[in-house]
Structure 1
Amino acid sequence: MSNQELGARGEALAALHLVDNGMELIDRNWRCRHGELDIVARDGDVTVFVEVKTRSGIGFGTPAESVTYTKQQRIRRLALAWLDERGGPWVRIRFDVVAIVMTDECDPAVSHLRGVF
């Protein structure tokens, strides 16, 4: 499976996980000239920007470890652009990471890290 296919499967699993846990999906794969937000969701009255990271193993570290400080800063800037485009009265926001490990031997392992940056 290619990296793009792995990523797409991971994002689909993450979306199902979020919905199964009571969150409402607002946007997926939102793009602007500065980059892309994987998932924007609502958790009660909180708008949540979710970065999804999927790996086929942990030989190069866990998926969550790949969300570096630089990547976090980029996601924050993209979140501001998303909010600015919507012009909505957003008050509370949160940044989550959904980390997924998919191997051929086991069912996917999904970890939802809330408010991690």
Structure 2
Amino acid sequence: MRAKDQLGLDGEAAASVHLEHAGMRIIDRRWRCAHGELDIVAVDGDTFVFVEVKTRRGLAYGHPFEAITPAKVRRLRMLAGLWLEASGHRGPVRLDAVGVIASRSGSWRVEHLRGIW
């Protein structure tokens, strides 16, 4: 596995732990369809939360949230609808972002931005 791919998986794992500590329940990870992938699907109370995770080794290429463009948000909205259709779930929805910065020393900084849409 490429180091970049492993970094992404580790970031998603760190994000999942963070979300669970925030009281959310993870119900799906790395859901894929022909149109793309959702990193994390969680439940926060009665709300389905679709979480985009961006992981970086530092800020040299910008903050992880900077990678979430309006086009990416549109795609996430479409994927959330497809997930709801495929799963048969209904209810309020929210899109969140989690930025993970992994330092070379092994420490992690996790930031959670609720309601990017």
Aligned pairs (5 A) from 1:8-47: 8-47=9-48
Deviations 1:10-50 (A, max 9, x none): 00000011111110011000000000000000000100000
Deviations 1:58-99 (A, max 9, x none): 1111001101111111111100000111222x2210000000
Q: TM-score normalized by structure 2?
A: 0.95
Gaps of 5+ in 1: none
What amino acid does structure 2 have at the position aligned with 1:56?
Answer: R
Distance (whole Å) between structure 2 residues aligned to residue 106 and residue 37 of structure 1? 26
What amino acid does structure 2 have at the position aligned with 1:48?
Answer: V
Q: TM-score normalized by structure 1?
A: 0.95
Residue equivalent to 1:105: 105
Distance (whole Å) between structure 1 residues aligned to residue 34 and residue 107 of structure 2? 36
Distance (whole Å) between structure 1 residues aligned to residue 31 and residue 91 of structure 2? 20
What amino acid does structure 1 have at the position aligned with 2:19?
Answer: L
Residue equivalent to 2:3: 2
- Determine what percentage of the aligned residue pairs are the same residue: 48
Q: How many residue pairs get matched?
A: 116
What amino acid does structure 1 have at the position aligned with 2:12?
Answer: E
Shift of 1:106: 5.8
Residue equivalent to 1:91: 91
Gaps of 5+ in 2: none
Residue equivalent to 1:55: 56
